[in-house]
């Protein structure tokens, strides 16, 4: 026995559910919404294939592009270390007691977190 009927004011079929006298209409989703939903599903499949997506015990799946945020970080750290090598060499060549006399080098040593032994 089906409780489905046509709603008189809207002309839409009901699904047979009723709560406190309110019946649920069987209205389909708008086409634009469905196509957007399908596009999101397709995009997620492409993303999972191209980028690391599924976490494993010790790493994530690699993805076909081979990109990883850890790899990007390693490249950025290498570039920053290479950029600082000149300043580090200047600081290393400067006598520790003479370093405060050079405000530029002292500022770089402090800002760069370069460990300087304290004079005794």
pLDDT at 115: 55
Count of domains forming the chain: 1
In a domain, 47, yes or no: no
In a domain, 59, yes or no: no
pTM of the model: 0.52
The token pair at 18 is 């009723």
In a domain, 119, yes or no: no
Q: What is the pLDDT of residues 107-118, one digit of tens each?
A: 877 776 655 555
In a domain, 45, yes or no: no
In a domain, 5, yes or no: no
- State yes or no: pLDDT of 119 exceeds 70: no
In a domain, 100, yes or no: yes
Q: Which domain holds residue 105?
A: 69-111
In a domain, 102, yes or no: yes
Average the pLDDT over 50-54 and give the result: 85
Strand partners, 23: 18
Q: Are 34 and 40 in contact (CB under 8 A)?
A: no
Q: Under the phi-then-psi rule, with left for phi > 0, alpha for psi from -120 to 50, and beta for the rest, what region is 66?
A: left
Q: Are 106 and 114 in contact (CB under 8 A)?
A: no
Average the pLDDT over 72-88 and give the result: 86
């Amino acid at each position: 026995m089906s409780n489905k009927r046509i709603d008189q004011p809207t002309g839409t079929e009901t699904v047979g559910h009723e709560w406190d006298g309110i019946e649920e209409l069987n209205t389909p989703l708008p086409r634009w919404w469905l196509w957007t939903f399908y596009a999101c599903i397709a995009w997620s499949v492409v993303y999972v294939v191209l980028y690391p997506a599924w976490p494993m015990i010790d790493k994530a799946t690699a993805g076909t592009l081979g990109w990883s945020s850890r790899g990007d970080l390693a490249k950025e750290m290498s570039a920053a270390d290479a950029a600082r090598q000149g300043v580090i060499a200047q600081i290393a060549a400067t006598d520790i007691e003479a370093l405060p006399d050079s405000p530029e080098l002292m500022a770089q040593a402090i800002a760069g977190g370069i460990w300087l032994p304290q004079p005794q």
